[in-house]
Structure formats: structure tokens, C-alpha cells
Structure 1
Amino acid sequence: MTDTLYDDKPGTPSARGLTIDRVFTTEGVHPYDEVTWEKRDVVQTNWKTGEVVFEQRGVEFPTSWSLNASTIVTTKYFRGALGTAEREASLKTLIDRVVGKYQQTGQESGYFATDHDAEIFGQELTWLLLNQYFSFNSPVWFNVGTAAPQQVSACFILSVDDSMESILNWYREEGMIFKGGSGAGLNLSRIRSSKELLRSSGGTASGPVSFMRGADASAGTIKSGGATRRAAKMVVLDVDHPDIEEFIETKAREEDKIRALRDAGFDMDLGGKDITSVQYQNANNSVRVSDEFMQAVTDGTEFGLRARMTGEVIEKVDARELFDKIAQAAWECADPGLQYDDTINDWHTNPESGRITASNPCSEYMSLDNSSCNLASLNLMKFLRADDSFDVDRFIKAVELIITAMDISIVFADFPTESITQTTRDYRQLGIGYANLGALLMALGKGYDSEGGRSLAAAITSLMTAAAYRRSAELAGVVGTYAGYGRNADAHKRVMRKHRSANDSLRTINPIDAGLCEAAASQWDQVIEVGERNGFRNAQASLLAPTGTIGFMMDCDTTGIEPDFSLVKFKKLVGGGSMQIVNHTVPRALRNLGYLDEQIEAIVAYISDKGNVIDAPGLKPEHYEVFDTAMGVRAIKPMGHVRMMAAVQPFLSGAISKTVNLPESATVQDIADVYMEGWRLGLKAIAVYRDNCKVGQPLSNGKSAPEEDAKPAPEVRIEYRPRRLRLPKSRSGRTTSFTVAGAEGYMTSGAYEDGRLGEVFLKLGKQGSTLSGVMDAFSIAVSIGLQYGVPLESFVQKFTNLKFEPAGMTDDPDIRIAQSIMDYIFRRLALDYLSFDERAELGIYTAAERAHYVETGSYLSEEEESELPESEQLKNDAGDNVRVDAGGPLQPSLIEAHPHTTSELMEAITGLAVDAPLCLICGTKMRPSGSCYVCEGCGATSGCS
């Protein structure tokens, strides 16, 4: 029986397979017959051009599935060419395609005691998927059951040695993984440093950073070859590598280059030619730090950098200064992150097979080199009963079924390289996780950054991993242990005891915690008992992935371990419209906190109008923390994210995909504190992002001081007195009504006879006397400034991109998203009163201009282009006019190229990087998902989620 699974016959499986009990389904009733189905039309248009980019009518989905979920599944997961009989058109077809393959393979490979057990397994799995209780990762939906290679893994780790053959093979393997839409990570620390000699010639080695350039160029080329998102990759270097300082500073130096070249007039859009001079932009960089190094930082002592070939210390550095350089670089450009080597390997179940040296691009999968992991995530809200108790029994049963299915997938799966195939089949790494934790905590009235929130998250995570490993031990008794278990048995069982010990240390703060901790303790006891008898089928079982696209497939409010992004969301309506709604979890949370129906109604109405809970009528300030979100005026503090990660980390085989967001005002020391606290709290990896860190103003060089013997020049003082040019008594003007995130207002502007703006008056709806007075005073100040000669461009430059609530969607087709009312007002004024060249310098364009740019690579029409002086017209190789940014001198090297990602498009349009780009497909503002961005409207992603 084991021969059907792998070649080396590990373990001694029993003759009897699994017996599957019905938990979710009813005997004699197919899961499809228990839901109501309807036909829907899925039509997507490009928000910039109005062009229909996707259309499939009459697709079949349950009525309980949202329009967003059905759109994402139809556009991304249905297989077959549009308009052909082979095209999938029903969720039933999709689920049957995937589940059928799992059921058939499990049946043929001896997983089930009888054919009837296999049938029950298939129906239970179907029920869970149909009712959005969990989802496999995207490669499963893309490939399983089709004629394509049966790729099921989303996460890959590669390896590279100190030889040119190995380095070139790294480029090739990475390219093949990128081609398939997945991401990979690796550690470059085996490559000798630029401070060491080559054995063959005696010359100096190039060092790993130089070889990163080739890999980065390869990733950029493959991305530009047709992908809609950047290649996802992770590059890791050990902190004791002699080239560590160069590695730390690579991306920060490149960011300085981007700013300098942009200021010099070069086209630094990521899709343009000039950006090719900027390197290392396609990877996440992480430094692998040891306990020895972190202790040296704490003690303020020196730390040795070691030669790769001999291991001898060739240089000593001040550990604290090196750590500060890491924090400084992360402050400047968000890279590098940290991976805590000793913590990672202390929880390693297979140390006899090799150390864990790297991770996948999002840092949640950490295992042996040349390995892969397939993922699946549970929707936690589905296990919350109407009485707000957590359904422990059904949760455990769901984990059993999912782990069984994930292990079966390794039997039939295809992999990109032979080495990854061998390692994955020998160690059978799995990655079960969850989504909707943030929504669950809010619904129960628990603050994300609170002891109650953390204890509940830890208990759920412990139960999930315990149930997964218990099922893995049971599978080992049926179809055998993983091939590498024999040599790693003692280490594997030691890690299981560490998990159980961590569970024993959990404090129960909420009533719901007690039942979860008790169930988890029982599961861990069984893990130890059954594992001692059978061994384990899987080297790894759990991690927390971003769950971007599959999170929307399950209609989750929050992804992965993330808190809620905001309290107000946009809901898609039949016919293509949308409406602004307060999250459904908010009323449930208020009921759990003891508020009456009329109080809840008033609070929800306030949130709908303001977007936050501050000063909501009747809401107690001590309850504000329940409604803290990832963004906004009550954003969760950075250490709140770190503490939540630390609470769940002891109960995961892998790590956590999550970025700790910091405000723009955060200091280098703030980032250093986050990195240090991550180590102290036992995290395996951590990454940060400081708001707007990639668009910070370049530092200006101070002018050299005059020579000491130079005589001072006589002081000449010229005093300029501005004169106010008042508007005529009768002047032309315009009144504009606007809406920003539901907040309505009116703007009246007056102009001089030559069309220049001379005054602005603002009135906001539903405002109190205080805000009314502030807006009147602001209007007068701006108007007087304009009349005294302050250029409108100066006001636009200062007040656009100013961020505060309300912020979000507007009703203006030229300005779809505003970061504040001030941001909207001055963008509108720029469009109304500035010339094209003046607006182009500020990165402000109309919708028509942006659409023309996407189609032609130029913001100007052919007629406008032809009217330019010949010296300002550029020709491409075919002799056609090609125009770059109209706001500066034009150079022949600035021929424009089309952007390939949402971030590129927004940077091309605005001249600035944006913390959450607009979706290139549907125009919805994306939201962070791990270290990537994901669109709530259509499921498009900017990275590897």
C-alpha cells in the first residue's frame, strides 16, 4: 500500500484505513440539495476606460454567496476558454473537479477503510467548501482535476551553494516557479563574501549581493513577460556573513537613487525604461539573526563576521551599530525584515535532515531547503454559534478532514523540480491555518490588542494545530510515517511536547477560552500518545498565511491573523453599483457588550457617517478598543500586532505572514524596538512598513562651510513687501458638490478675469459650529494667500496626500479615492484651475487623461501631441510620437513604457508611491494582506497571497 504513495516504504502502515463519520452532511441528501442556487452574470469593466475586460453570464452560485465571492471564483478559478463548452459555469463543477480528485486518490491509495468512507469523505469536504467553512490555496483551484500539471503548493524554498553551477541553477528554478505564478525564498549565506578569495584564481569573490542583481533582473523580466503582479521572492542572509552591511543597505540605497533620479527629471515609474537602473526591487530581504547576535546587541558588545569557507572570524563589528543599521534601512524602505534563526530551529521537527535556513516570500512557511507546502485556511466565523459559543467539536472534525485532504494531495501533486519533489514527498509539509480572526474577536467584544483577544486567539490556534498533528499521527498508522521521520523521531516528539507545554501555560481570561484550552489539552495528550505509537505522517502541519484571494472566496471580513481593516466597507450590488455599509460584526459586538437595540442603531449610524467610534453616542470609552482597526484614527499600535503574533506563535509549525505597520512619524528607534521585542517574545520572523517610507524626501546635502580666512561679504538686505490683489466686485465662479467616504460638502471658488483662482469657500454637511468655524477660517486663510500671490500649486503640493478621516471613495469620476477632504478639495482645484503641464508636475490627471495613458503610454491626445514644438516631441523606433511627463524637460532616454501592476500605474499617475494602490482591474482601493495587497472587489493581488 505504501508503494502507491512513495518509493522508499517508510513506516509500517496498518491494513485498515480511516473510518469517516458524518458530521456536516446528512445520509441520503447531497450537500448541493441543501442550499438554494441562482444564476448570476459576472461582468467586469476597466474602471479607467470602461472597457469590458471579463464577461460570463449565467454562472451558478448559492444565494448565500456574495457577489464579490462569485466574481472572484468565476474570474480566477473557473477553467476552460470563455465561450466554449469546456468552460466551467457552476460552483458545483468547480468543487466536484477538486473534491473528486482528492476522493479518488485517497480511495486508490488506501486512506479509507471502505468505499463508503471515501464517499462520506467527499461529501463532507464538499459541504465544508460549499458553505465557506474553509478553502484550499489558489493553486488547487487552478490546477487540480484539469489537464494541467497538478500543482497544489503555493510556497517554495530553494537552496544555492557556493558554485557558479548552483547559482545559475537558482536563476532557472526560481524562474520556473515565477512562471507558474508562485513565489520562492532562499538563503544566500553559503556563497562566499566579497572579502574572501577564490580558490581557483586567487581573485576576490563577487559576493552574494552581486548575484542578487541577476536574480532580480530575471524576476523583473518574467513579471514583465505577462504577469499581472510582481514576482514574489524572499532573499535571506545570515547576520554573521561578511557582506551583511552591504546586504542591509542595498534597497535603502536604491530608494535614494529613485528619489534622486525622479527629482532630476528621469521617468522612474516602475514600468518605464529608467527604472531598469534601480535594482533589488523584486524581492523581500530578511536578515537571519542568531541569539548570540541579539544578546550582543543587548549587551553592547562586538560580534564576529565569519568566512564562509573556513568559519573563522575575519572581522568584528559593534553589534548595536549593526542592529541600528538594520533598523535605519527598514525605516527608509521597509527592508530588511528579521528572521530569528535559533527560535526557528528550536521548533524544528527535522534537525537531523538539515537546518531551516530560509522561508517562502511571506515568511510563514519555514522548512528544509528545496521543499514546498500546500495551504488551506479555515473561516473562524463559521464556527461561532448564534449564542456566541465556539463549536469546538465541529472545528476539530473540520481540521481532521482538511488535513487528510491536504496529505492526499501530495500523492498526486506535481512539483517544479526533482529536488522539491523528493523533499516534499519525503517530509509531506502541510500548512493549515485560518482567516477571520479579527472579525471573530470583534464579534465577541474582544479587543485585538487586549489580553482577552490574545488568549482566545492562542487557544484557537493551539486547538487547530493539536487536532492537525493528532490526525497526522492517525494517518501514520494507516498509510505510514513520512520518510524522514525515522531519523528525526526524537526531535519531532520533543517539539510536540513543547507545543503541549505551551498550551499548559495558557491563561484562560474569557469564558470561551476554558472550553477551547481544555479541548486543546486533550488533543495534545492524544498527539503525544498516538504519535508515540504510530509516528507522524507530516513534518509540519500549520502556519498562518495571508489568505488574500481565498479569504474573499469565503466571504471573510478579515484575512489571516489581521485585525479588521476598517469599520466601513463597500458592498457590491446587483447591477454593478455599490453601497457603503458598516461591518456586520459591529452590531453583534455591541450586543455582546450589553448595548440595547436603540443604542446600537445610533452607534452604527454614527460609524456609517464618521467611519470610527470616537464620540459615538452612548458608547463607553472603555469599549473603544474592541473597534480598533488596522487603519484610521484608532489604528492598533505596532506593539499590539507584535503581541498578537507572539500569542499564537508557540502553536504553529511554521510562522506568520504579517507586516507590522507603523505611522509615518515613527522613528528608527521605534522600528528597533519592534525588532527587539519580536526576538524577546519568541517570534520566528517579523517585517515592518512605515507609512510612506518609500516616498520620503531625499536628504539635502549641507553646503560646505566657508574657509576660516575668507572675508565675509558685506550684508545686503532687500525687503520685499507682498501686495494683495483683490478680486473684482463681480467675478466668475463655480460651485462643486462632493462626497468623500459618505461625508457631503460644497466648494465655491471665485476667479480673476484671467481665470486664476482667487478665493475658496467650503461648507460641509452635518457639521457643528466648531467645525464650521474652522472651515470658514481655513477658507479665508487660503483665499488671502491666493490674493497675496501664493501660487495655487504650492497649496496643492502641501494639502494633497494629507491623510485623515473621512477618507475613501468619492462621487467624482476624476478623483475616485481621496485620503481626506483636504486631499480631494485641492486635487479638484488643481483640475479646475491649473494647466496640464502644471498638473503633470504634481501628478494630477483627469480620468480621460489616465485612460489615454493606459491605452497609449501618453497623457496627451494625438492632436495635443502634434501641437507641441518639435523639440518636445519624442519618437520611438517606428517614428511615432512618445511623450513622457509633460512637467519637465524631455530627454530621448525617457520613452515611456506601460505599467504592469497596480502600484506601477498609481505611481505613474501620481508620481508617488501609495500605501494601498487602486486595483488595476476594477479601481477599488486594495488593502494589505500580509506583505502584499489584495482587492476586495475582484480578488486581484499585488504579490504572493
Structure 2
Amino acid sequence: MKLSENAKLLLKKRYLMPGESFEGLFRRVAKSASRNDKELEKEFYKIMTNLEFLPNSPCLMNAGTKIGQLLACFVLPIEDSLVSIYDTLKNAAIIYQSGGGVGFDFSKIRPRGDLVKTTNGVASGPVSFIKLYNESTEVVKQGGRRRGANMAVLRVDHPDIMEFINSKKEEGRLPHFNISVGITSKFMDALKKDSKYDLINPRTRRVVKKVQAEKVFDNIIENMHSNGEPGIIFLDRLGKGIAATNPCGEVPLEPYEACVLGSINLSKVIVGEKINYEKLGELVRLGVKFLNNILDINKYPLPKIRKKCLKNRKVGLGVMGFADMLIKIKVRYDSASALRIADEVMGFIKSTAKKYSENNKTLLSIAPTGSISIIADCSSSIDPVFSESFNRSINEGDVLSKKYENSDYLVTLKDVKSEQQVKMQAVFQKHVDNAVSKTISFNNDASKSDVKKVVLLGYELGIKGLTVYRDKSREKQVICEVCKNG
């Protein structure tokens, strides 16, 4: 098998068992996922070693080991009591230890200053408990390989919403949490009408204040522009009983639900500058089968999660290498043709995946593919190529380098308008029953007005959520362009 130097370094750092070879890792995963079906084992091994399909990181790390927890995404409920808050924290720690990331909706926690009858004291509010969860994450290393990742969601009608929006204003605060504001249709209606909306105490269900929607929205936009936090989730588009997503936002989940992810490398389905739909269809078939088998063999961290997962059978098959695919078929990312091809490809994946569904409540999801796209040596997810030449930092302090050959069809991130990026997200979302994790990128000189316009465009186009990032708006940036003169 052909692995890049970046892939080898990352696999050695995070994935290989002691004494394990690269081929040994994929044999271990294929054997485990095949459930003693020798033919399937061969097929799974082939598509992984050809870098045509890869499952989420916990699967690569833990398949065939004593840990046996292979799912990436979880959501746990938090009720408004100290017992619930600490029970959930304990359950989250168990999930971190086995390699998963967790999303939480903190909206049921009473606001700061509210009455606590049992002590005649006052409540400290949801943001204080997010800080507690962040500290706990710091001390529990994920599967012994990396620290846990979290998503905190707070409804826009919670009385502490302004404190939440500003909770990551200072760089370095809550480092183990992504935060997203849960936007409601009522809020968006008030925003359109330039009117006020209700802030509601979740304990009493009473309106405590009316605030101008524009004021809250502008505060969200200001923080997005400043450093990319918070993100936004459009709650009414997530589905009944869903109030939170996994840490990167691509899987909306009910309380105690989990999901397994895998991605097809689209750059591997090109033959003679054309998309080989027969090959893509076969990868979809195998991908759906692989993810379903993982659900069945997984060692679940909690009985409640096992019960819900095997009932709902949520999987998230997605893609990576989309930008590389476009270069190979000589289509520019910033063109109308790219949007049309995205529509065709994801529509085909959707219709094919449905044929092989095993009573799956959801089948498709577009994950960021940060680590597995490095292993596959392809562009991440549905994103444009970052730059002709760039460096990427990984947690352990190592820097991975990547260089693209110059081409008329290579369109780098800084040259793709943010409007085109959100249109691309919306095209994929049209065919995806889970969600699309996408960071809409802006050049450093973008204004708050630019950010606001794109967020509103995303809402109009029907996306389920988004984050934005303005280049160099944080001191520490994971991925950086290499200067052409240096």
C-alpha cells in the first residue's frame, strides 16, 4: 500500500498498536468489521489499503482491541439538577476514555442568579457547568491517545445567552469545547421583523425578558468574526427530540444516541477524467455494510446508548477528497459546474445508500475528516484545497507539510468566495439526512457585515448549521499557508 510520509507519521503517533505495522492495522480493522465473513474481510481490507474508504478514528484505533468502542459521536442529556449534571459528567468521562466525543444541550439548566430552593442559594448558570466539563475533559485522555472533544449548545431563548455567546471571546478559554447557539424559527422571525423575542427561564417556563433579536444576532456575528466562536445550529431543522449535535456538528442526535462515521475518498473514483459511478456505487455498498457491522460489534460505554443505537441504527457515510476530484476532472471549485457535480455525486450516493440500508434511521453525514484525510492523502471533506503549499500542526507538536502541483483547476481556499462555500454546503445538505460539518472561511480583511450576509444566506439555503473562521483571527492556527518566498 502507498502511504504518504504524513500518513505514516500520524498513524505511528495515534493509531498503531505496539509492534503493529501499517498493513497490520488495516487487517485488524477489516477482520473485526467483517464479523467472520472472509469475503467481506478481503473487500474491507482492499478499500482501506487503497485509501478509498476509511472509518472514523475510534474504529481505526480500537477495532480488534480490548477497548472495542468504535463510535465517534455521542450526545448525552443534562437535566436541571446537580445529580443529573454530575451523572452526565461521569458518563461523558467514560466516553472520552474510549475515544468518543460528546455533544450536550445545556439549555435546561436554570440561569445564573436563579433560586436554588434546596440551599436557599442562587444558581451559577449553564456556563459555569460548561467550565466544569471542560476541566474534566482536560484530565481524561481519549482512549489513551487524545483528549476528548465536546459540543455545548445553548438555546438562543435562554436568559444566559449573552454570557454563553461571549464565553470563548478570550482565546484559550474552554479549549475542549466547541460552542453553538441553538437558533429557533421564532428568533429568525423576530430578526426578519426587527422585533424583540422572549428569553425564557427553563425552570419556570416563564418569560423573564424581551430582547431585540438584532442585538443578540449582532453579538453572535461579532464573536464569529473575532475568532470563529460560537457556531450556529438551526434547531428546528434537526428533527424531533434533537437539541444537540456531536462536537463537529455533522450528526444531530437524540439523548443517549451515538453514530459511527466513514468517508469515501472521491479522488479515487476518477478514471480518465470522468467519475466512475460503478466504482462509487460499490464503495457506497461496502461503506454502508461496514458501518452497520460496526454498530453490531461495538462495545457500548452505557446500556442506554447500546439500546438506542441498535434501535435507531444511525450511521454517517460521507466523503472526502472532493476538491481533489474536481481537479482531476478539470473543474474549478469556484464554478457553477462544481455545484452541479456535487449535486450529482451526493444524489447518487444518497440513492445508492438507501438500497443497502439495514433499517438505518440515518445514512449520510459530511464529517470534517481532519485526520483520516491525512491518512488518505486527500483534501479534507468537501472543502477547497487550503493552499498550494501548507503546514498542518497535529496535537503532539509535529508539523505535517503538503504541496500541490500548480494547475489551472487548483482553486485554493482564499480564492473561493464565502458565498460559494455556503452554496456548496447547501448542495450537499440537500442529500444528507444527518448534517454537514463545514467551516465557512473568510479572508482576514472580511467585515462583520460579510459574515452576517453569509450566515443569513446559509439559513435561506436550508443548511442545518455552520461555523465560520476568518483567516489569522486566532494566534494559534492549526493549518497555515507556506510563504512562497520562504
Tell whether the structures are fold-level matches, with TM greater than 0.5.
Answer: yes
**SS in structure 2 at match of 1:410:** helix
Which of these residues, 671, 679, 686, is aligned with residue 466 of structure 2? Answer: 686
In the alignment, what sits opposite 1:711?
none
In the alignment, what sits opposite 2:262?
376
CA distance in 2 between counterparts of 1:579 and 1:398 reads: 28
CA distance in 1 between counterparts of 2:274 and 2:337 reads: 15
User: 1:569–1:583: 8 Å Cα contact kept in structure 2?
Assistant: no
In the alignment, what sits opposite 1:422?
307
Which of these residues, 30, 34, 39, is aligned with residue 99 of structure 1? Answer: 30
Deviations 1:69-91 (A, max 9, x none): 344334433323xxxxxx22351
Aligned residue identity for 2:46: W
In the alignment, what sits opposite 1:89?
21
Aligned residue identity for 1:554: A
User: 1:664–1:692: 8 Å Cα contact kept in structure 2?
Assistant: yes
Deviations 1:43-92 (A, max 9, x none): xxxxxxxxxxxxxxxxxxx3x43343344334433323xxxxxx22351x
How far the C-alpha of 1:428 sits from its partner, in A, is: 1.4
Deviations 1:545-588 (A, max 9, x none): 121222122222x0111111122469xxxxxxx9999635x55x
How far the C-alpha of 1:438 sits from its partner, in A, is: 0.7
In the alignment, what sits opposite 2:90?
172
Which of these residues, 123, 139, 149, is aligned with residue 232 of structure 1? Answer: 149
In the alignment, what sits opposite 1:363?
249
User: 1:155–1:182: 8 Å Cα contact kept in structure 2?
Assistant: yes
In the alignment, what sits opposite 1:454?
339
Q: 1:102 to 1:334 in 2, by over 3 A?
A: closer
In the alignment, what sits opposite 2:182?
288
Trace 1:780-799 onto structure 2 (pairs within 5 A).
none
User: 2:242–2:252: 8 Å Cα contact kept in structure 1?
Assistant: yes
How far the C-alpha of 1:427 sits from its partner, in A, is: 1.2
Q: 1:88 to 1:201 in 2, by over 3 A?
A: closer
Aligned residue identity for 2:441: N
Q: 1:238 to 1:135 in 2, by over 3 A?
A: same
Trace 1:459-498 onto structure 2 (pairs within 5 A).
459-472=344-357, 475=358
**SS in structure 2 at match of 1:251:** coil
In the alignment, what sits opposite 1:916?
478
1:397 paired with 2:282, answer yes
Aligned residue identity for 1:88: E
How far the C-alpha of 1:229 sits from its partner, in A, is: 5.3
In the alignment, what sits opposite 1:413?
298
In the alignment, what sits opposite 1:163?
81
In the alignment, what sits opposite 2:396?
none
In the alignment, what sits opposite 2:17?
79
1:333 paired with 2:227, answer yes
Aligned residue identity for 1:328: E
Trace 1:34-433 onto structure 2 (pairs within 5 A).
62=1, 64-80=2-18, 87-89=19-21, 91=23, 93-103=24-34, 105=35, 118-146=37-65, 148-194=66-112, 196-200=114-118, 203-222=121-140, 231-252=148-169, 254-255=170-171, 279-345=173-239, 351=240, 355-386=241-272, 388-433=273-318
User: 1:449–1:644: 8 Å Cα contact kept in structure 2?
Assistant: no
Which of these residues, 657, 660, 666, is aligned with residue 440 of structure 2? Answer: 660
In the alignment, what sits opposite 1:554?
376
Q: 1:228 to 1:397 in 2, by over 3 A?
A: closer
CA distance in 1 between counterparts of 2:312 and 2:137 reads: 28
Aligned residue identity for 2:168: K
In the alignment, what sits opposite 1:646?
426
Q: 1:98 to 1:181 in 2, by over 3 A?
A: closer
In the alignment, what sits opposite 1:273?
none
How far the C-alpha of 1:309 sits from its partner, in A, is: 2.7
User: 1:192–1:307: 8 Å Cα contact kept in structure 2?
Assistant: yes
Structure 2 stretches lacking a partner, 5+ long:
392-398
Q: 1:295 to 1:337 in 2, by over 3 A?
A: same
Q: TM-score, normalised by structure 2?
A: 0.91
Deviations 1:594-641 (A, max 9, x none): xxxxxxxxxxxxxxxxxxxxxxxxxxxxxxxx432114xxx3222221
CA distance in 2 between counterparts of 1:221 and 1:301 reads: 44
User: 2:67–2:98: 8 Å Cα contact kept in structure 1?
Assistant: no
Which of these residues, 324, 340, 346, is aligned with residue 439 of structure 1? Answer: 324
Trace 1:625-774 onto structure 2 (pairs within 5 A).
626-631=409-414, 635-694=415-474
How far the C-alpha of 1:203 sits from its partner, in A, is: 4.4
CA distance in 2 between counterparts of 1:220 and 1:235 reads: 16
**SS in structure 1 at match of 2:275:** coil
Q: TM-score, normalised by structure 1?
A: 0.48
How far the C-alpha of 1:679 sits from its partner, in A, is: 1.0
User: 2:96–2:147: 8 Å Cα contact kept in structure 1?
Assistant: no
**SS in structure 1 at match of 2:263:** strand
Richer in strand (by share) = 2
Q: Kindly tell me the number of residue pairs found equivalent between the two proteins.
A: 475
In the alignment, what sits opposite 1:789?
none
User: 1:101–1:144: 8 Å Cα contact kept in structure 2?
Assistant: yes
Aligned residue identity for 2:175: Q
Structure 1 stretches lacking a partner, 5+ long:
1-61, 81-86, 108-117, 256-269, 271-278, 346-350, 476-536, 571-577, 591-625, 695-912, 919-923, 926-945
In the alignment, what sits opposite 1:716?
none
**SS in structure 1 at match of 2:199:** strand
Aligned residue identity for 2:382: I
CA distance in 1 between counterparts of 2:68 and 2:62 reads: 5
**SS in structure 2 at match of 1:560:** coil
Trace 1:872-887 onto structure 2 (pairs within 5 A).
none
Trace 1:855-870 onto structure 2 (pairs within 5 A).
none
Deviations 1:210-239 (A, max 9, x none): 22221122223336x997755421100001
Q: 1:672 to 1:248 in 2, by over 3 A?
A: same
In the alignment, what sits opposite 2:394?
none
CA distance in 1 between counterparts of 2:376 and 2:369 reads: 10
User: 2:274–2:329: 8 Å Cα contact kept in structure 1?
Assistant: no
CA distance in 2 between counterparts of 1:67 and 1:204 reads: 55
User: 1:646–1:683: 8 Å Cα contact kept in structure 2?
Assistant: yes
Deviations 1:96-130 (A, max 9, x none): 32222233x2x5xxxxxxxxxx4332222222222
Q: 1:200 to 1:569 in 2, by over 3 A?
A: closer
User: 2:246–2:253: 8 Å Cα contact kept in structure 1?
Assistant: no
CA distance in 2 between counterparts of 1:432 and 1:357 reads: 22
Aligned residue identity for 1:916: V
Deviations 1:188-212 (A, max 9, x none): 0111222543344554332212222
Aligned residue identity for 1:545: A
**SS in structure 2 at match of 1:540:** coil
How far the C-alpha of 1:280 sits from its partner, in A, is: 2.7
Q: 1:582 to 1:195 in 2, by over 3 A?
A: closer
Question: Whose relative contact order is higher, 1 or 2, with alpha carbons under 8 Å and at least 6 apart?
Answer: 2
Deviations 1:883-904 (A, max 9, x none): xxxxxxxxxxxxxxxxxxxxxx
User: 2:15–2:60: 8 Å Cα contact kept in structure 1?
Assistant: yes
Greater Rg, structure 1 or structure 2? 1
Q: 1:445 to 1:344 in 2, by over 3 A?
A: same
CA distance in 1 between counterparts of 2:203 and 2:287 reads: 45
How much is the aligned-residue C-alpha RMSD, in angstroms?
2.6
**SS in structure 1 at match of 2:455:** helix
Q: 1:325 to 1:73 in 2, by over 3 A?
A: closer
Deviates more, 1:93-102 or 1:320-329: 93-102
User: 2:103–2:150: 8 Å Cα contact kept in structure 1?
Assistant: yes
Aligned residue identity for 1:152: L
